[in-house]
Structure 1
Amino acid sequence: MKHVFCAVILFFVFQQSFSQIVINELDCDTPGVDDKEFLELKSDTPNFSLDGYVVVFFNGSDSGGDSSYMTIDLDGYQTDVNGLLLIGSNTVEPFPQLLIGANVIQNGADAVAIYQASDFDFPEGTLATQTNLIDALVYDTTDADDTELMALLGVSEQINEGSSNNTNSIQRNNDGSYTVASPTPRALNDGSGVALNPITISTSQSQYNEGESFDIVFTAQDNVTADYEFSFSLLNGGFDMSDYNGDTTLTILSGQNSVSTTITIVNDDVDEGDEEIVISFFGLEVPYIAMNNDVVVRAVDDDYAVANFGTPINPTYGVVESTQPVGYYDSLDGLADTDLRQALQDIIANPAVVRAQTYADCVDILKQADQNPENSNQVWLVYLEQGRAKLDFQTTSNNVGAWNREHTFPRSRAGYFSIEEDEIADGIDVYWETKADSLRHGNSDAHGIRAVDGPENSSRGNQFYGEYNGPVGTLGGFKGDVARGVFYLAVRYNGLEIVNGFPDGMVGQFGDLATLLDWHRNDPPDDFEMNRNNVIYNWQFNRNPFIDQPDLVEYIWGNMVGETWEQPLSVAENQWNNVSIFPNPAKNQMFINGLEEKANISILTIQGKEIMTWVAQSNRSNVNLNLPSGIYLVKIESEKKRVVKKLIIQ
C-alpha cells in the first residue's frame, strides 16, 4: 500500500506542475507590416521557472498540414512578478522577455500550444499532437474552422481574433474562456496584479556622425516615488567603450519621470566602417520594466576607403587586373560551338574545384563584391545605381530603405530554390560540392546575384530583361553587368538557356537574347566587374568568363557562333610561371623565389586596395609582414612579365 500511496502523490504533484502554465494572450495579426504580434504565457505562481517547456506553433493551411513551423525552447526563462512571460519581436511594447523575429506568427486558421517536452521533439513539420500537451489555442482571423487541427489538439473551439489588420488580441479569462479585446501585453487581463512602470528610451535622430554628440532621454510612464538608479549599455560588436564618452548610470529623481544623458561619439582615424550603437537596459528591477529596448543608433564612420577604380556609372578600365590562374581558359583554344560551350562549362562547373556557398553567405560576398568604390562602408545598388550602407541589409518584411539580394536570372524562371541550410552563413571555408547538374546551387551563385534596393527588387519581380529596363532616369551602367551574369548562369548550370523573346511559363528559359547581347556589347566589362569577379572567385573558385574574355559571348550566342575560338595571347605570354611565394599560409615573413630580374611587388586586399609596395631584386627576396589574418593578392611585375599570387595570412 505504501508504494501505491507514493505513486498517487507523485501523480498529483506531476499533474499540478502541468497546470502551472497557460496561454494567456495572443495577438497574431497587427496593422501595417504586422510586426507587433506577440504571445503571452501565464503561470499560476509568479517567477515560475519554465525549464522543460516548449511553445510550438502549428500551420493549419493546406500546405502546412496542421504541422509545426516554429518551436521556442523555454529553458532558462521564468515568468515575472505577475506570472507573465511576453514573447514577441523588439517592436512590441513593453519589451518582451523572450525575443523572436517580427512577423513570424501566422494568422490562421492556425494554433499555438505549450508542451512539457524538448524542442528536439518538434522538428519543423511535426504533426500537432496531444502527447505531453499542457495548453493549446486554435485561432484565426475570420477563417473557417480547422476541425482537423482542433481534433489533433483536443480543442473544442477556434477563436477568431478579427479580420485582417485588426487591432485586437485573444485574451484568456480566469474561467478558461476567451475574450477578444485591445491588447494588454505584460499586464493581467483582468486588471489585477502588480502595477509595472515601463521606461522608454528615445533619441532625436537614429543616425549621427563620428565626433557628434546626442542626448538619450529615459522616460518612465509614471513619476517615481523614490530616487531610482539604473544602468544601460551602448556596446555592440566592434563599438566598445573606447568609441564614446558619457555616463551610462543615471538616476530618475523622486517625483520625476525622466532623466537624460549626453553621449559623444569619438572621432578616431580608424576605418571601422559604419557601426550600430545598441542602447540596452540591464538589471531593471520591479516595478520598472523596459517599454522599448535595444534601440539602435547608427554611428557613421568618416574614415571610409575609396577604391582606385570607378563605379559602373563612372567606369574605369585596366586598373583592376584579373586574378585568374595561369592557363585557366587554355582548354578552350581551337574549339567552336557546342564543344566550346561544353569546355567552358567544364571549367566553371568543375566538381573537383568549384564551391557552392549558402544563400546567407551571399550577403557577406556581396558586401565585398558589390562594395561601392566611392565608399567602402556601402554596397553599390544595381538598377538604382547608387550606394547604400552595408548595415541596411533587409532583415524584416519592410524593404523600404534597405538592400537585399537580386537574382538576375529569377528563381521562378530558373527553377532553383532554397533549402533550410541556405539560411546559415557558415563562411568561406564551409561549402557544398557542386557540378553542372546542381541547378539548386544557382540560388546562391554570387555571379548571378546583385545587391539591390528592396523596393526596386520588388518592382523588377521576375520580368525578363527587355521587359524590365531599370528605373527611369538612371544611366543603365548595370546593363552589361547583368547580361554577363545571366550568360554565365546559362553555361554554368544544365537546364538554363537564353532565348529570343519572352518565353513566359517556360521554366529554365530566359529572354530576351537580343536585348542581352545589345546590353553586353554597349556596356563592356569595367574595373568594377573585374574586381567583383576576383572577389567571387575567392569564394567560389570559379570565374565569370564573360568578364575575363567578353568576346566569348559572340562565339556562343552572337555573330561568331561556329567560329573557332583562340584565346588572346596577352594573358599567358606575359606570365612569370617559375615564381613562387612561401610559406603560404604565412605569418610574419614572406619569401619570393624564382625572380629573374628586378621586380615591383605589391600586396593588395582581395578588393584590390594596395596596402604594401616595394622593389625586389632578382633571385630570392623576402619581406617582413605585419598584416591582419585574411586573404591577400601579391602582384609581381617587371617591364616584361607579371604574375598575381594569392597569399593567406594566418
Structure 2
Amino acid sequence: MRRWPLLASVVGAALALAVLQVPSGAAAATPLTVAQAIGQQAGASATVRGYVVGQPTATNTVVTSAFPSDYAIALADAPGETSTARMIYVQVSSGFRADYGLMSNPDLMGDRLDVTGSLSAYFSHPGLKSPTAFAPAGGTTPPPDDDDYYRSALGLTGPALKAELHDIISTGARLSYDQVWDALKATDQDPANANNVILLYSGRSQSKTTNGGDANDWNREHVWAKSHGDFGTATGPGTDVHHLRPEDVSVNSARGNKDFDNGGSAVSEAPGSYTDADSFEPRNAVKGDVARMIFYMAVRYEGTDGFADLEMNNSVANGSAPYMGRLSVLLAWHAQDPPDAFEQRRNQVIYDRFQHNRNPFVDHPEWARAIWS
C-alpha cells in the first residue's frame, strides 16, 4: 500500500537545516511547471509539479502499464499527456522507490506530485535527477464546469441533445483490452481497501491481483453485452471503461449477453441479483449505475466510427442486434438509484487518468429523460 511521506528520512536533517536558513516571513518558492522545468536544464535544484503519466524506458518511450521497474516516472502538466516532448523524466532513487516507483505503485498514475531534485537530463531527455523529496501536490483535474465541458449541450433536449453529447464525449483516448485490467483496478477500487476492487453485481470486495479466468477470479464484464452489435473486444466499444466493470467469473457467465429486466431466480454469488432465460436484474445498489452505462453507450456509439449504431429498445430478445433493453426498466432504475459517490469518483478517474471523457448521465441525470422521455 502506498504511503505519502513528506520527506525521506535520509534527507530529513538536511532539509530541516535548509528551512531554518529561510528568512522569517519568506514565502515558499512556487514549484516549476513541467514546461518551465524542461526549459531550465542547467543542473540547478528545483521543485517541479506535475501529473504522473507513465514510466520512461527510453528517450522517446514512456509506458503506461506493465511497469518494468521502480526507477523512473514521467511527469507532465496535463494528466492525459501523451507527447514525450512535454514530459520531464524523474529519477526515482532507492530511498523513494517503495512509495513512488510505478511497478510497486501502479495506482500512482494520474496523481499530482511535487518532486525536488536537480534539473539535469535523464535518459538523454529533459529530466529531474538525484531527488531529495517527493510529496503529493494535492488534487486531480477538477470536474469540468458545465460552462466548459458541456457548454454546447446546455438547453438542448431530445435528438439535438443526444447528438451534441455524442460529439462531446467522442473525444479522448482509447485503451487496449489489456490496459482495461489496470484501468479497472483504479476506477473500481474499494474506498475502504485500496488493495481491492468492488465487483459490480456481486458487491464483493476482492483483491486486485485475483483478476483472470479461473473460478472465483474477477474478469471484465461488458455491461453493454459485446455481442449486441458484434463489437467483441475491439478497441473502442469493446474496451470503453465507462461500461466495463470487474465481476466474478461465474456471475459474468450467468449474465452472459442477456438484456436487462426485472425478475427471475436468484444469482449465486450475486446477492440481490436475479436472472431468467432472457434477462438479468442487478442488485438495487447498482441498478442506476447499469442504466447510466447503457445510456452512455447509446450516445457514444452512433455508427460513425466503424462500429454499429448502438440503441436501446423495450425488447429482451435482441440477440446480436445492436440494441439493449428494456429502455422503460432502465429509465426506472436510473430514477430509483441516482449517482452516488462511488459512481461519481469512477467517472472522474476515467476522465482524469484514462479516456479523458465523461458519462454525461452521471453528471446530469436529468438528461436521460430529456432524451428518452
Larger-gyration structure (1/2):
1
1:331 is aligned to 2:152: yes
Instruction: Give the deviation of 1:271 after TM superposition.
Output: 11
Instruction: Give the deviation of 1:502 after TM superposition.
Output: 1.3
1:382 is aligned to 2:196: no
Instruction: Give yes or no for contact 2:243–2:293 (8 Å, CA) kept in 1.
Output: yes
Q: Which amino acid aligns with 1:476?
A: N
Quote the Cα distance in structure 1 between the aligned partners of 2:315 and 2:232.
24
SS of equivalent residue, structure 1 residue 378: strand
TM-score of the pair, normalised by structure 2: 0.55
User: Residue 246 of structure 2 is aligned with which of 435, 448, 451?
Assistant: 451
Quote the Cα distance in structure 1 between the aligned partners of 2:239 and 2:319.
23
Q: Which amino acid aligns with 1:473?
A: P
Match of 1:611 in 2: none
Gap change, CA 1:523 and 1:467, over 3 Å in 2: closer
Quote the Cα distance in structure 1 between the aligned partners of 2:252 and 2:202.
10
Instruction: Give yes or no for contact 1:321–1:530 (8 Å, CA) kept in 2.
Output: no
SS of equivalent residue, structure 1 residue 477: helix
Q: Deviations over 1:561-613 (max 9, x none)?
A: xxxxxxxxxxxxxxxxxxxxxxxxxxxxxxxxxxxxxxxxxxxxxxxxxxxxx
RMSD of Structure 2 on Structure 1 (CA): 2.8
Q: Which amino acid aligns with 1:545?
A: P
Instruction: Give the deviation of 1:504 after TM superposition.
Output: 2.6
Superposition pairs of residues 306-325 of structure 1, within 5 angstroms: 323-325=143-145
User: Residue 520 of structure 1 is aligned with which of 331, 334, 341?
Assistant: 334
SS of equivalent residue, structure 2 residue 206: strand
TM-score of the pair, normalised by structure 1: 0.32
Superposition pairs of residues 89-488 of structure 1, within 5 angstroms: 323-325=143-145, 326-350=147-171, 354-394=172-212, 397-398=213-214, 400-418=215-233, 441-466=236-261, 471=267, 473-474=271-272, 475-488=283-296
SS of equivalent residue, structure 2 residue 232: coil
Quote the Cα distance in structure 2 between the aligned partners of 1:457 and 1:379.
15
Instruction: Give yes or no for contact 1:322–1:530 (8 Å, CA) kept in 2.
Output: no
Q: Which amino acid aligns with 1:442?
A: P
Instruction: Give the deviation of 1:323 after TM superposition.
Output: 1.4
Gap change, CA 1:473 and 1:403, over 3 Å in 2: closer
Gap change, CA 1:532 and 1:550, over 3 Å in 2: same
1:507 is aligned to 2:328: no
Q: Give percent identity, aligned residues only.
A: 36
Gap change, CA 1:463 and 1:322, over 3 Å in 2: farther
Superposition pairs of residues 42-57 of structure 1, within 5 angstroms: none
Q: Which amino acid aligns with 2:299?
A: V
Q: Deviations over 1:26-82 (max 9, x none)?
A: xxxxxxxxxxxxxxxxxxxxxxxxxxxxxxxxxxxxxxxxxxxxxxxxxxxxxxxxx
Quote the Cα distance in structure 2 between the aligned partners of 1:380 and 1:321.
24
Flag structure 2 segments of 5+ consecutive residues without an equivalent: 1-67, 71-97, 105-139, 273-282, 303-308
Quote the Cα distance in structure 1 between the aligned partners of 2:144 and 2:229.
28
Match of 1:11 in 2: none
Which protein has the bigger helix share?
2
Gap change, CA 1:322 and 1:454, over 3 Å in 2: farther
Instruction: Give yes or no for contact 1:503–1:509 (8 Å, CA) kept in 2.
Output: no
Quote the Cα distance in structure 2 between the aligned partners of 1:492 and 1:447.
10
Instruction: Give yes or no for contact 2:162–2:299 (8 Å, CA) kept in 1.
Output: yes
Quote the Cα distance in structure 2 between the aligned partners of 1:479 and 1:381.
14
Relative contact order, higher structure (CA 8 A, sep 6+) = 2
Quote the Cα distance in structure 2 between the aligned partners of 1:468 and 1:454.
22
Quote the Cα distance in structure 2 between the aligned partners of 1:524 and 1:322.
21
1:544 is aligned to 2:359: yes
Quote the Cα distance in structure 2 between the aligned partners of 1:379 and 1:403.
9
Quote the Cα distance in structure 1 between the aligned partners of 2:252 and 2:101.
29
Flag structure 1 segments of 5+ consecutive residues without an equivalent: 1-235, 239-268, 276-319, 420-439, 559-650
Instruction: Give the deviation of 1:386 after TM superposition.
Output: 1.5
Instruction: Give the deviation of 1:506 after TM superposition.
Output: 5.1
* Aligned residue pair count: 223
Q: Deviations over 1:171-222 (max 9, x none)?
A: xxxxxxxxxxxxxxxxxxxxxxxxxxxxxxxxxxxxxxxxxxxxxxxxxxxx
Which protein has the bigger strand share?
1
Gap change, CA 1:349 and 1:272, over 3 Å in 2: closer
